[in-house]
Structure 1
Amino acid sequence: MSVDNEELIKDTFGRGFDAALGLELTDVTADLVAGTVDMSAKHHQPFGIVHGGVYCALAEGTASIGGFTWLQASGIGGTAVGVNNNTDFLRSISTGTVAVEATPVHRGRRQQLWRVSMTDADGRLVATSQVRLQNIELPEGVEPPVPATGA
Structure 2
Amino acid sequence: MIWKILPTLEGLNTSGQNTAVEHLGIVFTEVGEDYLLAEMPVDHRTVQPMRLLHGGVSCVLIETLGSVAGMLCVPNPGSDYIVGTEINASHLRGVGEGGKVFGKVTAVRLGKRVQVWSVEITNEEGKVTCVGRLTCQVMTA
TM-score normalised over the length of structure 2: 0.87
Shift of 1:137: 2.3
**Once the 2 structures are TM-superposed, how far is the Cα of residue 48 of structure 1 from its aligned partner?**
1.6
Residue 122 (structure 1) shift:
0.3
The Cα of 1:128 is off from its aligned counterpart by 0.5
Residue in 1 that maps onto 2:88? 86
Give % identity: 25
Cα separation, partners in 2 of 1:78 and 1:27, compared to 1, 3 Å: farther
| TM-superposed deviation, 1:8 | 2.0
Q: Distance in 1 between matches of 2:19 and 2:55?
A: 19
**Structure 1 unmatched ranges of 5 or more:** 139-151
Q: Contact 1:9–1:28 at 8 Å: present in 2 too?
A: no
**Which structure 2 segments of 5+ residues have no match?**
none
Letter in structure 2 aligned against 1:93: V
Number of the residue aligned with 1:57: 60
TM-score for the superposition, normalised by structure 1: 0.81
Counterparts of 1:28 and 1:134, CA distance in 2: 23
Residue 12 of structure 1 corresponds to 15
Which residue of structure 2 aligns with residue 3 of structure 1?
7
Say what the alpha-carbon RMSD is for the aligned residues: 1.8
Range with bigger deviation, 101-110 or 8-17:
8-17
Structure 1: which 4+ aligned runs deviate by more than 3 Å?
74-77
Q: CA deviation at 1:124?
A: 0.2
Separation in 1 of the partners of 2:17 and 2:117? 20
